[in-house]
Structures are given as C-alpha cells and as structure tokens.
Structure 1
Amino acid sequence: MTSDSIPSLTISMEGAGALLADAAGPVFSDACQQRIWALADRLREEPGVEEAVPGMNNLMVVFDPLRLDPASLEAIVARRWKEPVTGRAEGRLIEVPVSYGGSAGEDLLAFSAAKDLTPEEVVARHTAPIYGVAAVGAMPGFVYLSGLDPALSMPRRAQPRMAVPKGAVIVGGSQAGIMPVTAPSGWHILGHTALSLFDPLAEPPAAFRPGDRIRFVAREILR
C-alpha cells in the first residue's frame, strides 16, 4: 500500500479513556487490516496506552487519561497511521473440521435454496477459501473471518436466535465466523465444529490470533 493509497482515518473519542480509529470503507480491505494491526502494535508501546484492540478495519485504543492527554493521543494515532507497514510474520494455518447440515447446521438447506445452490455446492464454496482472522472480539474468542466467497454473502436473520450453540460455523453478511460460546446471534448456521475457540484457563485463552488463517474441512454433509 503506497502513501497515496493509505485509507483515510476517522478518530473519535469513546468516553474518557478510549478512542476509536476507524478506516472502514464499504468493502473490507485486507491491506487496510494489515495497517490496523501495525498501528495496534505501535500504540501498545506508547506510555499510557493500556490496550489496542483491532476490529474490522478499525481499532479501539484504551488509555489512561491521567497519563496521556486525549489530544496528544489523537495526534500520535494520526501520525503513526501514516508510517510504513513493515513485514509481519505470517499467521498460523489451522484446519477446522466441520459437520455441515443436519441438526448442527440447521440453516444449510434454506441457505442453499436462497442461493439457488445445492447444499454440496454451498459446502464446496465455503471450504474453498483460506480465511484470514481479521479480528477477535465481540465475545470471548469470536473470530471475524475475511475471505468468504461473495456468492455466499447473506444478510443476517431478521430475528436473531437467542442461543446459537458453541462451535456453530456461521455466515453473516459478507463474513464467516465460528461461535466460541453459546450466545444470541443473527448469523446463519451452516455446520458445527468440535474445535474449542476459547478456554479461560489456557494461555492465551483464545485459540486464534489476528493474522492466523483458517481452512474449513468438511467431515460430512448431513440432511
């Protein structure tokens, strides 16, 4: 990404001790996300910054306002955003086994019909890409995955379910994800994995880190 193509950054305060740096456009950008990760790494070294948490083409910065003046932090963020992005170590490639359809993937048939595809075609398209872990958050261990086939993009359900189970392999909008815990969600359930994404007793507790890559592997397709 050249200096001419650096995305514009909107900086806004989120309360007395947090700042949101937002570079999100209408379409998710992997190059922009690389810059978000680099900015997070740099800001974590700044005195007074307590956390720098990447989102999808945005970054939440939590700081101590008694140690770091908000206006000074805004200037630091704006300056460091424009610094060159150096090479970052490539994340791990992790295979995630999935049972598609059946009671564990209850939306697969309706999802396939809405896309005018067979369940097998949906699974083939879902397992074809290597996804990138763009961000981890929203709930403990939840992964926001880039790389979903655009043909599988689907608006979220009008009525969210109150309890989407842990391990559900899901699609919402143009993103793919995996439920780390049982929780409400409006994303579509295509399958289930036995892989655990979050263990509060582990170090680190989240199974995936931003920059990791995921390949879904179909174990079976149930009707």
Structure 2
Amino acid sequence: MTESRSPRVRLAGRHAVLVELADAEHTGAFHAELLRRRAAGTLPPVVEIVPGARTVLLDGVTHPEELARRIADWDVPSRATDTRGVVRIAVRYDGPDLARVAALWNVPVEEVAARHSSYTYRVAFCGFAPGFGYLTGLPEELYVPRRDTPRTRVPAGAVALAGPYSAVYPRATPGGWQLIGTMPDPTPLWDLTREEPALLTPGTRVRFVAEGGAP
C-alpha cells in the first residue's frame, strides 16, 4: 500500500502559500498533484508553482487563505505516477572525480558508469543556475559528499554528484560537486529560444546512458 501524508500549509505573504512536505519524494508527488489539478481546472488560479527540496511555493494566489484550507485536507500518495516520457542523457564517464567516487562506493572505477546509469531519476527542483535540475533517485548507500574545495570552474555538460542528488551543469560555473562524466550531446539544458527553456523541469524523469550503449 502506498503511504500518504498530509502537508503542512502556511501563508507566505499576501498572495502566496507555502506547503511543507516530509521529504523529496513526497514533495515531487505533491508538485505533480498540483500540476494535475491545475490542468484539470480544479485548482484555483495560481501564477507560479515552485517546488524546492521539501517545499512547494504557490505564488500569485487571489485567495490564499481559502487555498491553504483546501490544500491542508489533501492526502497525496508519497509516490507520484508520471505518464510523461523519460529524458535520456548520454554521458561519457570520464570525470576527474570518477576514482574518488569509485572509492566511496567501494567498486572498481569502471563500475561507476554501470551503477550511475542503472537508475531512473526525477527532477526534484531547479536552482543554482538556469536549467540546473536536482535529480533524486540514487539509493542512500551511493550518496557522496561535496568536494572539500570547490572548483572555480566546472565546464558546461559536466555530470556530477553531491549528497542525494545527481545533476548536469548547464553552463560553466564554479561548483563543489563530484564530477563523474561529461555530456557529449550538444542539446543545451537551457535555451531561451525553446517554448520551455529548461530541458529538465521539476517532475521530469531522467535516465543517463553510458556513451557506447544503453544501460
């Protein structure tokens, strides 16, 4: 049986409602439910729905008190069903921290690609830089710490790990995540010429494909 938990809801300003959830999985499910109800026309008008690690902010709400009361009664399963397709991202597992991650996982270096590409991930939320999605899906035993000293420049397309998250850097920036690979596919993660600039949006499912063959 799928576990369900009611959210904690509070007002966040004159026209915003903040929903606090138990964990990233429940947050993802709640965000998916909000989108489903908005598409069905059963959610009162909301300008923006912004998921975080354990919160969802609803901004631009005409009657926030009423919406907060309604949401507080929801009982959303902690696992969401998503009928959208999966975004597949090719990866060349050649990152400078590959050996470090292999040691932390206690596996041979060549095993990191097989492990990392064997899971289906979900974008929990976006932040840090435009197009940067925080992907959940790794089992807890594969969580790794951030680097003690961040790099001053991480190249665009770098595939990285930190804590419970995987990510792909959409552009060159400083960063402290463990770099395990690069994305050879030229498809940009952030492109203002597209209708939806971000390739990875909250709720999107992602599979990493080791270059040279599917996982």
TM-score by length of 1: 0.77
Q: CA RMSD in A?
A: 2.8
Quick one: which of 13, 17, 20 aligns to 2:18? 20
Match of 1:218 in 2: 210
Q: How big is the shift at 1:141?
A: 1.7
Match of 1:11 in 2: 9
Which SS does the other structure have where 1:60 is aligned? strand
Q: How big is the shift at 1:52?
A: 0.9
1:35 maps to 2:35: no
Residue 96 of structure 1 aligns to which amino acid in structure 2? I
Q: Which stretches in structure 1 are left out of the alignment for 5+ residues?
A: none
Whether the 8 Å CA contact 1:40–1:54 is kept in 2: the answer is no
Residue 71 of structure 2 aligns to which amino acid in structure 1? V
Cα gap change, 1:19 to 1:32, in 2 (>3 Å): closer
Q: How big is the shift at 1:130?
A: 2.0
Match of 1:126 in 2: 116
Whether the 8 Å CA contact 2:27–2:56 is kept in 1: the answer is no
Q: How big is the shift at 1:193?
A: 0.4
1:153 maps to 2:143: yes
Which SS does the other structure have where 1:100 is aligned? coil
Residue 20 of structure 1 aligns to which amino acid in structure 2? L
Which SS does the other structure have where 2:30 is aligned? helix
Distance 1:151 1:62 in 2: 36
Cα gap change, 1:129 to 1:88, in 2 (>3 Å): closer
Residue 58 of structure 1 aligns to which amino acid in structure 2? T
Cα gap change, 1:7 to 1:106, in 2 (>3 Å): same
Q: How big is the shift at 1:201?
A: 1.3
1:172 maps to 2:162: yes
Q: How big is the shift at 1:18?
A: 3.1
Whether the 8 Å CA contact 2:49–2:56 is kept in 1: the answer is yes
1:56 maps to 2:53: yes
Quick one: which of 187, 200, 203 aligns to 2:195? 203
Which SS does the other structure have where 2:5 is aligned? coil
- Residues 152-184 of structure 1 show CA distances to partners (whole Å, capped at 9, x for unaligned) of 211222333343222111111012111122233
Q: Which stretches in structure 2 are left out of the alignment for 5+ residues?
A: none
Which SS does the other structure have where 1:49 is aligned? coil
Whether the 8 Å CA contact 1:131–1:214 is kept in 2: the answer is yes
Distance 2:75 2:141 in 1: 34
- Residues 41-72 of structure 1 show CA distances to partners (whole Å, capped at 9, x for unaligned) of 436855552111223343111125xx33x433
Match of 1:82 in 2: 75
Stretch of structure 1 that moved more, 203-212 or 189-198: 203-212
Residue 87 of structure 2 aligns to which amino acid in structure 1? I
